Amino acid sequence: MGSEERSAWIMLVVSLTAYAIYVAIVVGQAGKAPLEEAPYVAAMLWTTGAAIVGSILLNIIGSMVMREGAGKKDQRDREIYRFGESIGQSFLVIGGVAALLMSMAELPYFWIANAVYLAFFLSAALASVAKIVAYRRGLPAW
Amino acid sequence: MVKPTRVTNDIRRLRFAHNEMTQAELADRTGVTRQTIIAIEQGRYSPSLEMAFQIARVFGVTLDEVFQYPAQERETP
């Protein structure tokens, strides 16, 4: 496995873990009260920060353990990166539009923030899945 | 939907004909990763024209001795 494919796996695992922990914390704190009354800001900031730090650390550890091709990137890697990011970015746009519409509808901040956070998660996770599939099966023929 | 490329190649045969050159050595000499050479050999990736020329140059052969693009039934006259 090359370093870029390994990075995609790390991003997938980290984003899934961070979002699962965030959802567990918020749902746990809500208890029997309505979900939108649950405190979410600290959990959102901490899981975001932990995901960034965690992915950096895992990439460093990964390149120390699996030294082959560490930091080496070629044309195929760049094509796969662009392919994955184009899929991921579409979810950022969807999240942005959803947040805009929710703001216009004057929905609680909780739902707006969580729509954007979900879009961030989906963007990272699905971009990683697209990259992994491209590494394993090949890029789609346009 | 992911489609396999129609480009086929003889890289594996050419590597063995050149002192059993390893995929890692070919990768080093063409400036790509070993995973990319594996993907090209297995038909999971079509290299750019420039990369294809670089691979052919390593083996000292012409491009169509390394890569082939078979015609489909309806393309044949």
Domain ranges of chain A: 3-137
Residues of chain B found within 8 Å of residue A140, distances taken between Cβ atoms: 1-3
> Residue B47 domain-assigned?
yes
Q: Are the beta carbons of B5 and A141 closer than 8 angstroms?
A: yes
Give the relative orientation of helices A3-30 and A109-137 as an angle to the nearest 10 degrees: 150
Residues of chain A found within 8 Å of residue B45, distances taken between Cβ atoms: 76, 138-139
What confidence category does residue A139 fall into, taking pLDDT thresholds of 50, 70 and 90?
confident
The residue range of the domain holding B41 is: 1-8+21-71
Give me the interface pTM, i.e. the ipTM.
0.78
Report how far residue A126's alpha carbon sits from residue B11's, in angstroms, rounded to the nearest whole number.
33
| pTM of the full structure | 0.83
Residue B44 contacts A where some CB pair is shorter than 8 Å: yes
Among A12, A105, A19, CA closest to A59: A12
Residue B51 contacts A where some CB pair is shorter than 8 Å: yes
Beta strands B67-68 and B8-9 are antiparallel
A69 with B33: Cβ contact below 8 A: yes
Whether residue A41 is predicted with pLDDT greater than 90 in this model: the reply is yes
B32 with A137: Cβ contact below 8 A: no
pLDDT of residue B73: 63
Comparing A39-53, A69-83, A110-124, which segment has the lowest mean pLDDT?
A69-83
pLDDT of residue B75: 55
> Residue B25 domain-assigned?
yes
> Residue B28 domain-assigned?
yes
Q: How many domains does chain B have?
A: 1
Give per-residue pLDDT as tens, B22-33: 999 999 999 999
Please report, for the domain that includes residue B45, its CATH number.
1.10.260.40
Interface contacts (A, B; CB < 8 Å): 49
pLDDT of residue B1: 46
Residues of chain B found within 8 Å of residue A138, distances taken between Cβ atoms: 2-5, 39, 43-45
If you search the block for the tokens 């390994």, which residue do you land on? A6
